[in-house]
Structure 1
Amino acid sequence: MPTKDGRMKAREWLFYTEDLTLATLGESVPRPQRRVMWTVLQFYWDTPAAHFELQPQPSRSLVEVGLHFEGRAEQNEAWAARITPHTAEIQSALGGAWELEEWTASWRRLHRVYHFDHLTGALGREVAAEWAKAISLLWPFAQAGMESPSPNLPRFMAAASR
């Protein structure tokens, strides 16, 4: 339960935002599997190594959302290479706050950060809307055995920008 001033605890906020995100995803997105590690929520389809992540970090006053590639270095590089040619289109659809980066020596991620004073329902609604839009657009890139979804990318872009 939020406090009288609307503040929420990290796990409470995480599950609230998850519920909103899942309710917003269209039928064209297959329901993901989920993994929760305290205040880290991950959605994935065929491999947990390629997942969408939501992580509130109250001690740093930020929330990070993104598509993470955390498998073997060569697989992560291949996943990132599928996205790279579409970075401009993706940023056009999602906004310039999204960044494709080499996160560690082997991990890659396409993500964005929200800064906050307190975890609130309003922040949860804002993040859920953005995360659902990103998942709707990018979930094909998280598929392990799928070739580059580039032939269908315009369709995904059009659906995500609605």
Structure 2
Amino acid sequence: MVTLRRYLCLCALLFWQGGFTFYAAVVIPIAGVVLDPNLHQRARITATATNVLNVAGIAAVLLLLWDVALSADPSRRRYWFRCALWSVLFVTLAALFPLHYWLETLDPLVGTGPADKDFFYLAHRIYLWVSAAQWLTALVYLYLTLRAWRAEDARAVTPD
């Protein structure tokens, strides 16, 4: 059961944050070249893709909560740090949903672009900063989780 739990956690986290990384590093720059004059079309693609990533995030944080709740990490300090990082992942994910809605009201998918571009770009920058904080948190969380799993495994094979 431990192996299955860890496998599901890794799959969910890698799909969620790996998808974000690929999208930010590859898809957005390509869309900028292919759809350069049509910013609104790029926004429509991004809005759809980020909806999928945010829903994937729900599955991931639930699986990560399951894992940290059942953790047998011998380091209480690392355990609590992972709990704190999980909380940051949860809060940033929860923040992205209303921010996403806000962006869509500022730039409706059926329109021709935002009426107030400056305000839209401010809201978009906030969304990007929250996403970046989430991504960095996920990287640290992954590192500590792998360390915790190794410690749990070492403890399990060490005779008492």
Q: Name the structure where strand makes up a greater proportion of residues.
A: 1
Give me the TM-score of the superposition, normalised by structure 1.
Answer: 0.33
Q: Name the structure where helix makes up a greater proportion of residues.
A: 2
| Rg larger in structure | 2
